Amino acid sequence: MTATARRARRGSVLVRSLVIIAGTVSVALAHSWVRQAGEEPLTLGADESALQQTVLPPSEDVELGGAGMATAATDAGDVLGFEITVDQASRLYDTGMAVFFDARLQHEYEDGHIDGASFVPAEAFATGLPMAVEFAMPDQPVVIYCGGGECEASHNVAAVLQSLGYTRLHIMTEGYPAWVDMGLPTSSGPDPLLEGGM
Amino acid sequence: MTTAPVSGRAGAPLADESASTGTALSVTLVGCRLIAGGLFIAAAVIKLTDLQSFAFSVKGFQIFPDSAEHLTMLATFAFPWLELICGAMLVLGLWTRAAALVTVLLLLSFVGAIISVIARGMSLECGCFGKLDFVCDGPLGWCSVARNLVHASIAAVPLILGAGRFGIDALVGPATRS
């Protein structure tokens, strides 16, 4: 093959590559237009403005006890927004009115999680409604946490839960490490609600 | 490496040895195309059947800023379709070199994204094959980098040598072989 022919072939390969990319992007745009106009548009996060707040009961109504409860001295009628601190989460935990969902990786959950929390990553919804979610009432406060810092997993779970009609969603932004640092209740092992794991 | 022709050109007589070498090379090329293309097709189908999870995976990489959600959405839809179309073209041997080039570039971009996740100390799952742990399990790590590099190496074979005798490119003639 001559140098000219080789150059021509390289040029042809590049042009065809660009054609493939352009054609594929066109298909992807058409797909996104159809999907986003349909009944189940993709979401990248929860719409905070559409969520309800949760009002913590006054401190005298909170059943105190256990390690770390020194931080549970509550302000009467504290209103919780979408993002909450570990302190607020622990007070909500003490009321027993909320469910806690762990959005981290499975091995992280099994190594240690908030006592009573269920393993509910966003991927768990791909094959149906996780059992822990079925047990939660749509207007029940749900606290979701992951590893804190730049962790996005809890926001992803919140987005899916909101699309399913859950209205009182709270992200414990400091994540599980902060819960552990405060000496709050934890346990380890697989989620008993998951038969055979994910 | 032998210089035996990869594709038998019409009217060009081939010596027996060259012909058998060419056939062996063509079979090898088919194997590379099926592996590279088949993996891409499988990954694409898994992603397209659960796009919401893949959208979260793309967002989790935090490659795009929060203000550029449209780019995250575009990537969510474009990556699986690129994988599906390039995978199908590799398997069929159609525009093989071009499809292989896009495949290699796509895999190298995945490698770059994974390395950036590792460098930032983030812990997240690949989302490459949905919930399926293909070769690598657990959070993203060097295993995923190696897997993508091996995949890219396999796809680089038809990029360099073309489709071989067994593909649509060989049927339509040398003028369109790319």
As for the ipTM of the complex, it is 0.82
CA dist A3 and A8 (Å) reads 9
Per-residue model confidence (pLDDT) at position A68? 38
Question: pLDDT digit string (tens) for B120-173?
Answer: 887 777 777 776 777 787 778 899 999 999 999 999 999 999 888 888 998 886
What mean pLDDT is predicted for residues A165-178? 92
CA dist B46 and B10 (Å) reads 41
CB within 8 Å of B173: residues ≥ 6 apart: B10
Which helix (H) or strand (E) segment holds residue A144: the answer is strand A142-145
Question: pLDDT digit string (tens) for B69-124?
Answer: 889 999 999 999 999 999 999 999 999 999 999 999 999 999 999 999 889 887 77
Band the pLDDT of A5: cuts 50, 70, 90: confident
Name chain B contacts of A198, Cβ cutoff 8 Å.
131
Question: Given an 8 Å threshold on Cβ–Cβ distance, is A123 in contact with B178?
Answer: no
B 93-132: CB under 8 A from A: 95, 97-99, 101-102, 120, 122-125, 130-131
What mean pLDDT is predicted for residues A72-100? 82
Choose the weakest-confidence range: A43-57, A132-146, A163-177.
Answer: A43-57
CA dist A169 and A183 (Å) reads 24
Say if residue B16's pLDDT is above 80. no
pTM over 0.90: no
Band the pLDDT of B19: cuts 50, 70, 90: low
What mean pLDDT is predicted for residues A31-58? 84
Say if residue B43's pLDDT is above 90. yes
Residue bearing tokens 């997240």: B124
Question: Given an 8 Å threshold on Cβ–Cβ distance, is B85 in contact with A12?
Answer: no
Name chain A contacts of B59, Cβ cutoff 8 Å.
44-45, 152, 156
